[in-house]
Amino acid sequence: MLGLTDCPLTILVGVGAGYIFLRLLLHLTQDPKEPPAVETTIPFVGPIVGMLTKKTDFYTHLRDEHRDLPMYTLRLPGSRIYVVNSLSMIPVVQRQIKTIAFTPIEAQAADKVMGMSKAANDILSTDMDAEGSYLSTFVKFIHPAVSPGPGLDALNRAAVEVISRSLDTSAQQANVSGGSITVELFDFLRHEIFQATTEAIYGPENPMRCSKMERMWYKFEPGIMMLMLGLPWLVRHAYRAREAMIPVIETYYARGGHKSGSMLAQCRYDHNTHHGLGPRDIACSEIGGVAASVTNTVPSAFWFAYHVLSDPVVLADCRVELEELVTSGGHGRKAIDIARVKNECPMLLSTWQEVLRVYSTGIAARVVLEDHFLDGRFLLKKGATVMMINPVAHTDPTAWGLRALQFDHRRFLKGVTGGQEGPHKSRSAFRPFGGGTTLCPGRHFASTEILAFVALLILRFDVVPLEGRWKVPKQNGSMTSSLPMPGDKVMLRLVPRADDEEWDVTFSGSDKGLKVSAEDMERGGE
């Protein structure tokens, strides 16, 4: 029988044997032609610890530690991740659309997050990348609705009208309530963005309009990642909320509500029916549509509003150029065309771009569909995941200079210090909306909506922190959105400005999109 003094020795021998086994397993299963494996001090475990404890900071740390590696491998139990570490490798990966694809992830989301039927999943997952397939044609179908032109103009105009009416109501409430109203910034923005977005998309019969549907959405959204991982029992509230929303959306389409909705709602419906999806599955697909429209829009709107409102210099810079666009309407009213804000407010746009650069924590993931030699340099094995990390690209000093970690609202202005850095030097340095064939098609709508809201807010109100001074909110990493959530409440008083009058807010239209991706900058925003 072993004595008590033998137990620590036995444990130590067991741990040592296990460690040697893992080292040997890593050595035998890692092909020397693959990108080099890193974080191997504790094989298969080290990367998991780093991801959980450091989140996206884990990848910037590895970037700084392994600057000589264009790509590297993270080995996890039963899987491997290839991380793009160099800006020059991003376009190389993006060109391999047939072998390093996003479509398997889209198909998985339709099944696990949206709750589509087996029949619908078969439609989505069969020949996913073939010409004419459901997933390969989706962007083509909705392109007329979200690209610069009449469809996007109508969408923007509808959202601007909702925002303008809501701020009218806020001003009226303030005037009858002692001259101000109190709001919590994130909750205020979340409600306004959710309503403006869904009203613009779905039109007069918007199925998401009622407060119950909005509450259901807020219950569903935080559970998206757990649903994606196939763990619905961990987020039963999210699952139940999704199942409660689907019949309401199904009724909207059954009644023909989309016929009076936006071109986007009609295009999505036409795409779904063209590929044979049934009524319930069409409603399920709209769960993904709402997520794409609001999940990242809300936190990005928060950080944009926070930086504009809390910094007196930024606020003054943006307010000056906005006030130059204000004209006199009839009967003593003020007037502004929000379409001009898109093209004639470079300081406001630069601040928005800098928010996207600094706060985007997005990870562009792809699946390797077959063994592939990338650029003739690296073997990528079938079934592995390739990841391109936004914070790695957005803080690369070779593109952004020594001030890469600092927030500079003037950074994207041409002709100023730093204004020629970033995407002007490398197309791959600025990726808030992804890039290549998966560049977010809704980026112009979301950006215009947020710019419109913040522009009207600072024109019409003085915004005062309830505690007398602005505090920097903590950032809580989110498993659902590509930007962090605020970890603190930001309580504010909205005080109508002394010269605030009734407003005529219009959106005349524009044939140019916003420069919110490197591709847009190269094409002049078109």
The 10s digit of each residue's pLDDT in 118-135 is 999 999 998 888 889 999
Query: How much is the mean pLDDT over the chain?
Result: 91
* CA 468 – CA 164 distance, rounded (Å): 28
As a whole number, mean pLDDT of residues 324-331 equals 86
Mean pLDDT check: name the lowest of 76-90, 204-218, 497-511: 497-511
More confidently predicted of 40 and 415: 40
Beta pairing class for 491-496 and 503-506: unpaired
List the binding residues. Answer: 440
- Nearest CA-CA partner of 456 in 334, 374, 297: 334
Is the pLDDT at 2 greater than 50, yes or no? Answer: no
pLDDT digits (tens, 9 = 90+) for 14-65: 677 777 887 888 888 899 999 999 998 999 899 999 988 888 899 999 999 9
pLDDT digits (tens, 9 = 90+) for 184-222: 999 999 999 999 999 999 999 999 999 999 999 999 999
More confidently predicted of 425 and 457: 457
Query: What was the pLDDT predicted at 5?
Result: 53
CA dihedral defined by 310, 314, 318, 319, rounded to 10 degrees?
A: 60
Tokens of 141: 């179908």
**Cβ neighbours, 10 Å, residue 133:** 17
- Nearest CA-CA partner of 214 in 255, 244, 183, 173: 244
Query: What was the pLDDT predicted at 423?
Result: 62
| Domain positions in the chain | 131-360+432-522
CATH number of 131-360+432-522: 1.10.630.10
Query: What was the pLDDT predicted at 11?
Result: 75
pLDDT band at 316 (very low <50, low <70, confident <90, very high): very high
* CA 146 – CA 200 distance, rounded (Å): 12
Mean pLDDT check: name the lowest of 312-321, 454-463, 496-505: 496-505
Is the pLDDT at 140 greater than 80, yes or no? Answer: yes
Residue 375 burial (CB < 10 Å; 0-12/13-18/19+)?
Answer: middle
pLDDT band at 488 (very low <50, low <70, confident <90, very high): very high
Choose the most confident range, by mean pLDDT, from 225-234, 238-247, 498-507: 238-247
- DSSP structure string for 398-425: HHH-TTTTS--TTTTSTTSTTTTSGGGT
Inter-residue contact 248 to 240 (CB < 8 Å): no
List the binding residues for heme. Answer: 440
Query: What was the pLDDT predicted at 6?
Result: 59
- Supply the pTM of this predicted model: 0.93
Is the pLDDT at 417 greater than 60, yes or no? Answer: no
Q: Which residues contact 150 (CB under 8 A, 6 or more apart)?
A: 263, 509
Phi/psi of residue 334, nearest 5 degrees: -95, 155
Is the pLDDT at 421 greater than 60, yes or no? Answer: no
What are the angstrom distances between the C-alpha of 73 and each of 33, 89, 151, 154?
11, 14, 43, 46
pLDDT band at 382 (very low <50, low <70, confident <90, very high): very high
Query: What was the pLDDT predicted at 501?
Result: 80
CA-based end-to-end distance of the chain: 79
